[in-house]
Amino acid sequence: MSLRKYRYAGTALIAVLWLIVAGYAGFIAWEHYQGHVRAASGEMPLYTDYTPTYAASLLVREIPAEYLYVQKTMTNAGRLAAHAMYPGISDRQAHGVGFPPFMYPPTFILLVAPLAYVPYWWSWYLWLGVTAVPYLAAMRRILPGPLAWPVALAAPPVFYNVMYGQNGFLSAGLIALGLSLLRRHPVWAGILIGLASVKPHLGALIPLAFIAGGHWRAFAAAALTVVASVAASLIAFGDDPWFAFIGTFLFHMEGFTHGAYNYRPMTTVLATLSMAGVPLQDAWLGQYAAAALMAALVAWAWWRGRRRPDLQGLQAALLCSATPLALPAVYLYDLVLLVPAAVWLWQGMCARGAPPWEFAVLAGALAALLAVKPVAESFGIQPGAALVSVVLVLAVRRYRMALAAPPPGGQ
């Protein structure tokens, strides 16, 4: 293929990706518009996951932060947020927001506290815009050039993150940006990954990877950043929110037993087995086995590649794709973390040569994530974990092949 044809194909791809982004934006705008129409007509309006986030900011502005972890006060705050979202709605419509639990550590309160000082919809834009900064910066660093942002924004998990007003941009962006800086700027890498501890479970495998890979400076920087974040929350809110957060942990875990969680957007092994009719106890055993396997896989990959800087991208891809399978509670918007993993994997496939079917399988698995929730709702099966597993298997395959090949330049 000539250089001109390559450029034409690249331009066409960028145009298609931006059309997908425009489609996402149009659909989300229409859904929110319909929410306002239903609110004005007295029907139940649209509520998203951002509503309890804004509710938390309203609550912490008025009363001590530990009350975020009290069911009744958060429920009342959710109704206040509903009124802020749709002024003039009835109390019956506001009750539709349901019970919005606050499940994040007190360090997360530092991020959401300022939102209450901005009107609801402006705060929604502000939240998504600010949290997108580390994600877009990470994607630009991993994939330099004009493809970076359209690829970043056209990925299906991004649609769900924006639709729900969630925090997938923030956690994925900080982790991916930190991993991209790991070799050259380990201290900055550790700081960024330490800041991602506002959603701590998504970093569960990172300490293991750093230890196995011998990234001690990054490990120390991340640990100190977590300590500093905790100290900042203690200074701002005192220690009562931490006792409340720890005290509600078992309550939230019991939610699995009582069917309190919606498995349709939850892309975990636990959700997959539970929706398939496996008894909860056995589903948990499957989740534990998956977690142990993912931990062993990450430790092996980062140990074997500790003296191979050329494998850093594939190691990061393996880590980011193994993480959702190791955890019991991961949602579609959390799979924003899978987007940089897919780009690192794609680059590894291009650099070392991969058959066309691998590119097709990777692209197909990512595209199919858009259908996870509709499939789960229509057919009662959860394909999300299987699609994540496809990306992971490709990452392991590429990593093993690269590991067996001599390093470039005889490193």
User: Residue 1 above 60 pLDDT?
Assistant: no
CB 402, CB 311: distance < 8 Å? yes
User: Is residue 242's pLDDT more than 90?
Assistant: yes
Whether 6 has a pLDDT exceeding 60, the answer reads: no
pLDDT value, residue 8:
59
Q: To which residue do tokens 């001590």 refer?
A: 64
- pLDDT tens figures, 59-84: 999 999 999 999 889 999 999 999 99
**152-171 pLDDT tens trace:** 999 999 999 999 999 999 99
Question: What mean pLDDT value characterizes the chain?
Answer: 93
State residue 408's pLDDT score. Answer: 72
Q: How confident is the model at residue 240 (pLDDT cuts 50, 70, 90)?
A: very high
For residues 232-257, average pLDDT: 88
CA neighbor of 121 nearest in space, from 51, 28, 201, 174: 51
Residue 264, pLDDT > 70, answer yes
- Asked whether residue 259 carries a pLDDT value surpassing 90, the answer given is no
User: How much is the average pLDDT of 202-231?
Assistant: 97
- 124 vs 247: CA distance, rounded Å: 30
Q: What is the pLDDT of residue 3?
A: 40
Picking from 90-99, 116-125, 226-235, 343-352, which range would have the lowest pLDDT averaged per residue?
A: 90-99
Q: Is the pTM of this model over 0.85?
A: yes
DSSP lists the bridge partners of residue 90 as none
pLDDT of residue 410: 52
Q: Is the pLDDT of residue 44 over 70?
A: yes
Cα distance between residue 44 and residue 121, in whole Å: 18
What digits encode the pLDDT tens for the residues 276-327? Answer: 999 999 999 999 999 999 999 999 999 999 989 999 999 999 999 999 999 9
Output the six-digit token pair for 15. Answer: 């145009």
Q: What is the pLDDT of residues 87-141, one digit of tens each?
A: 999 999 999 888 777 889 999 999 999 999 999 999 999 999 999 999 999 999 9
Average pLDDT, integer, range 362-366: 96
In whole angstroms, give the CA distance from residue 263 to residue 245: 23
Residues present in the chain in total: 411
Q: φ, ψ for residue 306 (rounded to 5)?
A: -65, -25
List the Cα angle 231/237/238 in 5-degree steps.
Answer: 70
The answer on pLDDT for 4 being more than 60 is no
- Coil, strand or helix: which one is 102? coil
Give residue limits of the domains in the chain.
1-44, 104-245+260-406
Q: Are 275 and 377 in contact (CB under 8 A)?
A: no
CA–CA dist 173, 131 (Å, integer): 8
**Residue 12's pLDDT is what?**
87
In angstroms, rounded to a whole number, what is the distance separating the alpha carbons of residues 142 and 182? Answer: 12
**Which residue has better confidence, 256 or 40?**
40
How far apart CA 137 and CA 177 sit, in angstroms, is 7
pLDDT of residue 2: 43
How far is C-alpha 260 from the geometric centre of its chain's CA atoms? 21
In order of 50, 348, 384, the CA distances from 397 in angstroms are 38, 11, 20
